[in-house]
């Protein structure tokens, strides 16, 4: 039989169900092996799902906006046009169940992150060294000798598809440069790049209505599972007050160069972790896992619900200017759900900063798989006693660390906070070296 089921893939280790964002192909459309047919929202990001089969999209079981469990059938692909009606009949007769079978067949799809194609000065969708194009588009471009970097894709999130390559080849000339994207922050209610015909719009924020029950989003459900998983971990908390006059002065000096306070704090924490590898470690049943890299996760609230922690990888060795540029890119793509898996699941230590809301202090919940999380409050002017017996005004912030007590003890956390305070208070300029 040459009718194949397309299954809902597991796009992350914590994903139990997926939501169909949009179907790139319509029933009856020709599909190539490795071509994107659907965009799926996992518990972390929106991803392209590519088919293993060549043929025709015969029937869609799960429509856009609907949810299905991992491993359940979401569509049929027929190898020939003659079998399309047969596939429809099979679906209508209940041939494909909406729940996974006890021994499901291999998932008939592969996933790749649909990185948004931001307009640049040369009009390409080349983003941080990565060109987003379907396998068929790449093959066709090679045959027709078309430079993919000159194309602006019409597929989901700016992805270059075969039709884009064919259109350029038929015209026999390069397309005009695309307009430069505005530098202002892009709200989640608008697409990141100029809208393409098949680019799905971000999910709208559901307004709270008294008396109404609003279902949790995929992201919110993921947060629920992670928070419940932390209940079994024995944790403790240690607080510390840090004077930030020197850090604030440094920030004012280099803010115009694109440096963010988040990057400065992440850099300070990462440099301090070099002296305290246990605080960068995590627990496993086999023992203490000492990580080779210092990757700082930073909590970011999603505008349409949920929480994600983009990761500043190797934050101890990356210079502050590159770190700030990376952070801005991570936040932009996090809020459009376009992060690659390693950009949100490779953290070894987490920061949660509510200082911008005027919060004095708070306790953070330890993320699964990590040993510590640092909660950062607002920096405020405080009247303090100076070493010479007088009174003075100092900018101070309160930080609270939550740690896994199975591997980290109070003295370890206190020593880390003491060194972090020493760095911020006496030598913040070293963060720019």
- Whole-angstrom distance, CA of residue 374 vs CA of residue 298: 10
Answer yes or no: are the C-beta atoms of 190 and 184 closer than 8 Å. no
The set of residues, in sequence order, having a beta carbon less than 8 Å from that of 98 and lying 6+ positions away, is 61, 62, 68, 69, 72, 73
Quickly count: other Cβ atoms within 10 Å of residue 357's Cβ: 9
Q: Residue 320: pLDDT band by 50, 70, 90 thresholds?
A: very high
Bridge-based pairing of strands 372-376 and 380-385 is unpaired
Decide if 405 is catalytic: yes
The set of residues, in sequence order, having a beta carbon less than 8 Å from that of 301 and lying 6+ positions away, is 307
- Whole-angstrom distance, CA of residue 320 vs CA of residue 311: 15
Answer yes or no: are the C-beta atoms of 221 and 382 closer than 8 Å. no
Mean pLDDT (the chain, rounded): 79
362 by Cβ neighbours in 10 Å (0-12 / 13-18 / 19+) ranks as: middle
Taking every pair of Cα atoms in the chain, the longest distance, rounded to a whole number of angstroms, is 92
- Whole-angstrom distance, CA of residue 399 vs CA of residue 395: 13
Query: How do residues 172-211 score in pLDDT, each as one tens digit?
Result: 544 444 444 444 443 433 333 333 333 334 444 555 678 8
Q: Residue 99: pLDDT band by 50, 70, 90 thresholds?
A: very low
- What would the two tokens of residue 209 be? 């209505």
The β-bridge partners of 202 are none
Indicate if the pLDDT at residue 101 is higher than 50.
no
User: For the whole model, what pTM was predicted?
Assistant: 0.60
Query: Can you give the pLDDT at residue 340?
Result: 85
b/e string for 228-250 if b means 16 or more Cβ within 10 A?
eebeebebeebebebbbbbbbeb
304 by Cβ neighbours in 10 Å (0-12 / 13-18 / 19+) ranks as: middle
- Say which of 4, 126, 157, 405 is annotated catalytic: 405
């Amino acid at each position: 039989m040459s009718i194949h089921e397309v299954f809902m893939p597991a796009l992350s280790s914590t994903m139990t169900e997926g939501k169909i964002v949009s179907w790139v192909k319509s029933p009856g459309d020709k599909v190539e092996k490795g071509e994107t047919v659907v965009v799926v929202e996992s518990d972390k990001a929106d991803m392209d799902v590519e088919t293993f089969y060549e043929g025709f999209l015969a029937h869609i079981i799960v429509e856009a906006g609907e949810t299905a469990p991992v491993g359940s059938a979401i569509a049929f692909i027929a190898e020939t046009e003659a079998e399309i009606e047969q596939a429809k009949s099979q679906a209508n007769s209940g041939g494909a169940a909406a729940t996974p079978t006890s021994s499901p067949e291999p998932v008939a799809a592969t996933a790749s992150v649909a990185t948004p194609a931001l307009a640049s000065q040369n009009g390409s969708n080349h983003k941080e060294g990565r060109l987003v194009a379907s396998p068929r588009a790449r093959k066709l471009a090679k045959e027709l000798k078309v430079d993919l970097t000159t194309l602006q894709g019409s597929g989901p999130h700016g992805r270059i598809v075969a039709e884009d390559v064919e259109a350029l080849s038929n015209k026999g000339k390069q397309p005009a440069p695309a307009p430069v994207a505005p530098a202002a922050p892009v709200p989640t209610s608008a697409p990141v790049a100029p809208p393409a015909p098949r680019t799905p719009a971000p999910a709208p924020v559901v307004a709270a209505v008294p008396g109404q029950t609003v279902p949790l989003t995929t992201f919110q459900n993921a947060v629920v599972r992670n928070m419940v998983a932390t209940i079994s971990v024995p944790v403790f908390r240690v607080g510390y007050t840090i004077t930030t006059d020197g850090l604030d002065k440094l920030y004012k000096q280099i803010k115009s160069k694109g440096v963010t306070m988040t990057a400065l704090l992440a850099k300070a924490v990462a440099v301090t972790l070099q002296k305290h590898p246990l605080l960068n470690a995590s627990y496993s049943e086999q023992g203490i896992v000492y990580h080779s890299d210092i990757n700082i996760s930073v909590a970011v609230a999603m505008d349409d619900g949920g929480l994600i922690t983009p990761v500043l990888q190797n934050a101890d060795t990356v210079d502050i200017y590159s770190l700030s540029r990376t952070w801005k890119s991570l936040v932009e793509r996090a809020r459009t759900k376009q992060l690659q898996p390693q950009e949100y699941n490779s953290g070894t230590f987490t920061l949660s900063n509510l200082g911008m809301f005027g919060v004095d202090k708070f306790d953070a919940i330890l993320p699964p798989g990590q040993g510590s999380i640092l909660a950062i409050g607002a920096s405020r002017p405080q009247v303090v006693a100076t070493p010479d017996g007088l009174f003075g005004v100092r900018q101070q912030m309160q930080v609270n660390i939550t740690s896994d007590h199975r591997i980290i003890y109070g003295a370890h956390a206190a020593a880390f906070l003491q060194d972090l305070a020493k760095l911020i208070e006496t030598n913040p300029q070293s963060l720019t070296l």
